[in-house]
Amino acid sequence: MSLIEAIVLGLVQGLTEFLPISSTAHLRIVPELFGWEDPGAAYSAVIQLGTVAAVLIYFRSDLVKLTAAFFQGLVRRQPFATLESRLAWFVLVGTLPIGVCGLVLKKHIESSLRSLYIISGSLIVLALILFLVERIALHKRTLADMRWRDGIIIGLWQALALIPGSSRSGTTLTGALSLGLRREDAARYSFLLSIPATTLAGLFELKHLLEADARPSAVALWTGTLVAFGSGWAAIAWLIRYLRTRSTLVFVVYRVALGLALIGLLQAGVLQPLSGVENLAPANPPVKVPAEKQVTD
């Protein structure tokens, strides 16, 4: 992987991780358009650590409060007494579905599910669901109004993000809005909920990536991660300001347009649905030689 590829992919990862347009989709599409090899789900998960760092620093005061409230609640044997302690528990519970499903579906996520046909379908279907939710949602509830049911339901929505193209931010935003949360509060909770899932996924994949025979260089990994951090920070700040006064309609239109364009390029043969992904299979599978043709000393 060249330095230019690492910079471009890091920029794409950071900008699209927190916007409801799917970072995985763009990390599959951009290399395909430039004729680069698919960086793979492992590389995508590792440079996500840059965006995790952006969330940690951006919401550092919130995280300190949530962590302190969580442990104070345990010590006082009143784990759900405050808003901060409840939110901490909601984040933990909401992480379980994506964690379990991620382990079960790991092989498919890294191979067949990265087909551009699946990605294009996910882009369009989730866009239509988000559009419907925006039309019927109340947009009145705040984080203070959240209950256990809300945390579990949004966690289940987050698990849908394992389907490439659906977008973790998009699914959690949709789930939160469907429960009546205000857009700004939905985005804030989506960011907090992203921390455990993306951190664990990144560390898990980093171990496997470092053990692999063919892997990006350390320079490519660090460059992609640092660029993802900077662009991710900018995306967080912009999205929170944007959703204070506007709806998610622009993302709905973008997702549908991108999904349809992707289908058109696939049908025209400009893009291949699994180009680069098939490289995950052995390049030269062993060939059995008939016994009568074997040469012995």
DSSP string, 98-157: HHHHHHHTHHHHTTGGG-HHHHHHHHHHHHHHHHHHHHH----B-GGG--HHHHHHHHHH
Give pLDDT, residue 213.
64
- Whole-number Å distance between alpha carbons of 49 and 262: 28
Lowest mean pLDDT among 154-168, 185-199, 263-277: 263-277
Please state the separation of Cα 171 from the chain's center in Å. 10
| pLDDT band for position 57 (cuts 50, 70, 90) | very high
pTM: 0.82
| pLDDT band for position 278 (cuts 50, 70, 90) | very low
Give the mean pLDDT of 52-75. Answer: 93
DSSP category for residue 181: B
pLDDT 10s digits, 170-196:
999 999 999 999 999 999 999 999 899
pLDDT 10s digits, 86-115:
999 999 999 999 988 888 877 777 667 778
Q: CA nearest 31: which of 69, 56, 1, 61?
A: 1
Is the pLDDT score of 288 beyond 60? no
